[in-house]
Each structure stands twice: as C-alpha cells, then as structure tokens.
Amino acid sequence: MSRVAAVWTALPDRRHTQSEISDVIAPLLTDDPVRAAVARRLHAHAGVDTRHLALPLDAYAGLRTFGASNDAFLEVATDLTAEAAARALEEAGLTAHEVDHVVMTSVTGIGAPSVDVLVAERLGLRSDVRRTPSFGWGCAGGAAGLARTDDLLRGRPRDVALLIAVELCSLTLQHGDDSTANLAASGLFGDGAAAVVLVGDEHPLARPRFAAGYAGRESDAHRTARVVDSRSTLHAGTTGDLGWRVRDTGFQVVLSARLPELVGAHLLGDVKALLVEHDLEPSQVPTWVVHAGGPRILDAVRDTLGLDEQDLRHSRASLREAGNLSSASVLHVLDATLAASTAPAGSPAVLVAFGPGVSTELVLLRLDGPPRSGPVRARAAATGRTSA
C-alpha cells in the first residue's frame, strides 16, 4: 500500500463573493433579463459563498476565444500547481529531486508540453522523472488520480510520486450561452490546484514520523493515510449526462439535472462492492471524503449512504468557501479532513468522486497517526487552506 504523505491546496489570490461574481458574469451569459434572473437565482442556491478566480473579475468580458482562455490556463495553472506541489513536498519533508513520478489531471485546459512539464521545470524535478498526464477524468480526477498513483507505486514501492490536479473552471466561461446547464455551472465551479505526495510502502516515509518513537513536537506532526484499495465504475447509458462539448469558443458544459438521481441509484452498491473485500459495511466507516459536487449531489450522497451532516462538513465547507473545484475538489476536502481528523488511528476512510462517463471513483484509506486532540493548526489563507 502507498501512503499519502502530504496534501496541499492552492487557490488564486482573487477571492470574490458569489453575488459579486453573479453581477459581472450573468450579463455575459445572456441579455435576457428573465434568464439573467434565473442565473442569479441558481447562483444564490449553489451552496457557494465565495470563489477564487484565475483572472481579475473585469477580465472575463474580454475572454471570448478558446485560444485566449487556454493561454491564460497554462500560465495560471502552472503557477498554482507549482505552489501546491512545492508546499506539499515541504510538508512531506522531501525535495523536488526525490520525486520519481508525476501524475497530473486537468479537464479545463490543454497543453503540449502539458502543465506537468512546465511544473517540472519550475520546481527542478529530475530530467528522468516519469510523467502521466491525464485529460478526461473531470471531477473524478482527484480520486482516480489517487487510485492510479497507488497502482503505480505498488509496482515501485521505494518511489515517490506527486499527484497534481489543477482546474481553472472560470476560464471555460461561454459568452451568450444561457442554457440552464451553463447558468448553473457558472455559479458552481471554482478555480484551484491540489498536490498530493505519495510514497511506496518500502520508502522511509512509509513509517509516519509521529508513530511510536516519534520525538518531535505534536505541532510538527500531520496525519497521513494509507491507500488500501480503489474501485472505478462506469454507469451505462450516462455518457450524455456530464462532460464537455468542445466548441470553437472552448468547453461548453454538459450538466444533467438527473445527476443526483444517478448517484442515488448507484452509489450504495458501488461502495458496498469496495468495502465487502475488506469485511466492512458503510456504517463502520467513520470518515467520508466526498467531492463537493454541489448541494444536491451532497444531499444524494448523504441520503444514499445514510450519513449525518457532520460526515459531510468538510465537503460543505469546501463548496461554500471555494466552489466545486472539479478534480481538485476531493483533494481539497482530503486536505481539510487530514488536518482536522479526530478519528482513531487505523480507522477506514472512503474518498468519493463522480465524473464524466458517468463514473464513480472510490478510494479506501486507513488513517495513520494520533487523532487530532487540540485546535487545528493555522492554515495560510493565501493557499486556500482554512481551519475546519
């Protein structure tokens, strides 16, 4: 089993309230006052209070071509991802030169060379670093990337891997598209990057530094987790429910109103299929790390699995403070969960995300280290790391 040695999330410095964003974005989507009112209503009920944007708010009026949007993506995504990766490596106690593999996921911009190459140059990764860039996992990318990175490290147990997820959803804005899907998406999705450092189970960091015999201060220790298992499921007949249509102007969102229904129909069976191999039931899992897909998605997860609102507190907070960060969302929630967890050492946690397909991506974790007993350590606001 690989170990999650550190997680770090980076958000753009430009932070705006939902109402400030709506006032600027709604007129770009439609000149129909009725549809503009619908946009504002959808934004107000998205469960989002603030979002961090890649560009100044007044720049989006001039962002009208795929080329301009993608140029901005490559610049800002490289900056955010490099920040998240550097901070995650620092927290893990590793240097960039020790990274053997980089797995990258994004679905809001493209590049060749891809962002992982630009980040490798920025951080000073070795020239022989092995790279796996991915496009297409969408909102499931954080979970799928974690699972695939674990698969990789099972075959190379002495190695260090860096998983990076970066999404600048605001740059996919489609001017003049007043479809309900676009009106809703323009109020739901946010911008950000996350980085996870994982090590194979023969790496020295596979033993937590705050395990028995740890001599440092409690404030120096951070909880880690072992990746135990994962499960991927594609649900038949759902390819038209979530994703992109690629247009001359860029990525036009596909967002079906029946997504919560699909979650309700499939999630319990998927989770049980993952847990049964480990003699577990959903009721025996004290920690849930759920992609902040939106209020109705979180409601469907809660009701389908029989969870309490407390189980989703970090997901609700992530949505409220940053919006749906697509592939980075579930890693943002994982970051907050590990920082604040009071669950016993060795207890299971299930990480959940949904993406185009429609697909469900699940990762079974085991928490390491002592439960958090005191106040959560302060987290830098500039990176989006907030107290739970």
Tell me the pLDDT tens digit for each residue of 137-196: 999 999 999 999 999 999 999 999 999 999 999 999 999 999 999 999 999 999 999 999
Average pLDDT along the chain: 91
Query: Which is the catalytic residue, given 89, 139, 162, 331?
Result: 139
Ranges assigned E (strand) in 169-323: 191-199, 225-234, 242-247, 250-255, 287-290
Q: Choose between 184 and 212: higher pLDDT.
A: 184
Rounded Cα distance between 32 and 271, Å, is 44
In this predicted structure, the answer to whether residue 374 has a pLDDT above a threshold of 70 is no
Q: Name the one residue in this structure whose structure tokens are 């989703």.
A: 312
Q: Band the pLDDT of 376: cuts 50, 70, 90.
A: very low
With vertex at residue 273, the alpha carbon angle to CA 272 and CA 275, rounded to the nearest 5 degrees, is 60
Count CA atoms closer than 13 A to 246's CA, side-chain side.
Answer: 7
139 among known catalytic residues: yes
Tell me the pLDDT tens digit for each residue of 347-370: 999 999 999 989 999 999 999 876
pLDDT computed for residue 209 by the predictor: 53
Task: Please tell me the least confidently modeled range out of 109-113, 188-192, 373-377.
Answer: 373-377
pLDDT computed for residue 368 by the predictor: 87
pLDDT computed for residue 370 by the predictor: 63
Tell me the pLDDT tens digit for each residue of 78-97: 999 999 999 999 999 999 99
Tell me the pLDDT tens digit for each residue of 242-267: 999 999 999 989 989 999 999 999 99
Rounded Cα distance between 298 and 287, Å, is 15
- CB–CB of 187/18 below 8 Å? yes
pLDDT computed for residue 220 by the predictor: 47
Rounded Cα distance between 331 and 289, Å, is 9
Ranges assigned E (strand) in the chain: 3-10, 14-17, 50-53, 101-105, 130-134, 160-168, 191-199, 225-234, 242-247, 250-255, 287-290, 348-355, 359-367
**Global pTM value:** 0.90
